[in-house]
Amino acid sequence: NAQPNAAAFHSSAVCYKQVFVGTVVSDKPQKTVVVSVIKVSTHPFYKIMVKKRRKYMAHDELDTFKLGDRVVIEQWQPLSKRKCWMVTGYADREKEALLGPERKAKIA
pLDDT, tens digit, 9 for 90 and up, residues 6-65? 555 555 566 688 999 999 999 999 999 999 999 999 999 999 999 999 999 999 999 999
Per-residue pLDDT at 79: 93
Angle at the Cα of 38 from the Cα atoms of 34 and 41, rounded to 5 degrees: 155
Residue 76 has pLDDT above 70, yes or no: yes
Alpha helices, H only, the chain: 6-12, 93-107
- Tell me the residue type at 93: R
What residues contact residue 93 under an 8 Å CB cut-off, 6+ apart? Answer: none
